[in-house]
Amino acid sequence: MSSQEKQSILIIYTGGTIGMVKDTADNSLKPLDFNHITEEIPELRKIAHELHWMSLDPVIDSSDVKPENWKLMAETVFKNYNKYDGFIILHGTDTMAYSASALSFHLQNLNKPVVFTGSQLPIGLVRTDGRENLISAIEIAAVKEKGRAMVPEVSVYFENKLLRGNRTTKYSADNFNAFISPNYPPLAESGVYLKFHRQNIYYPDTEKKLILNRKFNTSVGLLKIFPGISRDFVEPVLTNKKLKAIVLESFGAGNSTTESWFTKLLEKYIKEGGIVLNVTQCLAGSVEQGKYETSLALQQAGLIGGADITSEAALTKLMYLLGQDISKKEILIRLNQSIIGEIT
């Protein structure tokens, strides 16, 4: 089947800026009735593919997204998987990188595109970026080569680039180019033509069936190192019995304070069964524990180096692994492995 043949695409609206239009009565923004989407984007009438729309109930601002919302998104794709050739998830930008990362772990052996997109300006405004983002996302989701989806993974499309979902992070609240993938190249780029970088795309075994991983354990925390961090701040986190794992955002290549109280708290937390995944605060680069003296103590304390994983992917990967029926030893092994392309 070629990319020119008619494909069936399900577009799932979860909430966010892209689905807002201006109410002419009071100039306020209100959710769009997607039955009238072509009034806002008449170009959709020219798309040859079969488009189907649905909204999650209730729709939510992305700042309110919770793990149960990720599960609902994943279940929606799973339930409709055999009915459609591709899926678009319209989502607010603030937590899109978290949701895209989570769905990459929720949905494994994916052989169809699941493309997240949204906008910085509401779809009802003249200068909205949502129009191009949505149209290009549809075209990308519909492309097949020799009967197989061109990009069969969870991705994020924004401002001319298609990025692996679990490699993205939002870096700008003002620019249309809101997302970057600092440690992994684009899957595709949109210009006059759609240019796919096949060498960067993850192609699973077509013989394996789609797996929906429903169980995520949310007993995970995020601790960011900063100059002057105090014991009074850290200790309540590392002695919280409900926290099974922590993502530690360290400096540079995995460095932190060398204060003995800090490393002793980490050692105690790990000895009592906790897991600490060390990721860098830098947008680009990788954790290399032991490269500098300031990270050697962390390595000796038992922290796992997160390589070039993003904080968003680190959190959701831990939630996924903690939700599986596997030992701590197996979790530690898999943290050092790429499950779905989240680390190099």
Q: What is the DSSP letter of 156?
A: E
Label the pairing between strands 154-158 and 161-164. antiparallel
Q: Compute the radius of gyration of the chain from its Cα atoms.
A: 21
Closest CA to 334 of 294, 275, 256, 291: 275
Burial environment of residue 218 by CB neighbours within 10 A (0 to 12, 13 to 18, 19 or more): middle
Catalytic residue among 14, 17, 93, 168: 17
The yes-or-no answer on residue 95 being catalytic is no
CA 341 to chain centre: 12
| CA distance linking residue 304 with residue 279, whole number of Å | 9
Query: How far from 264 is each of 10, 219, 240, 306, 332, CA to CA, in Å?
Result: 51, 22, 15, 21, 20
Q: How far is CA 203 from CA 3, 141, 154, 175, 208, in A?
A: 17, 15, 11, 31, 12
Residue 66: how many other CB atoms lie within 10 Å: 11
Task: Give the distance between the most distant pair of CA atoms in the chain.
Answer: 65
CA neighbours closer than 13 Å in the CB half-sphere of residue 50: 7
Peptide bond into 67 cis (omega under 30): no
Q: Give the list of residues 6+ apart from residue 109 with CB closer than 8 angstroms, or none.
A: 204, 205, 208, 209, 210, 211
List, by residue number, the catalytic residues: 17
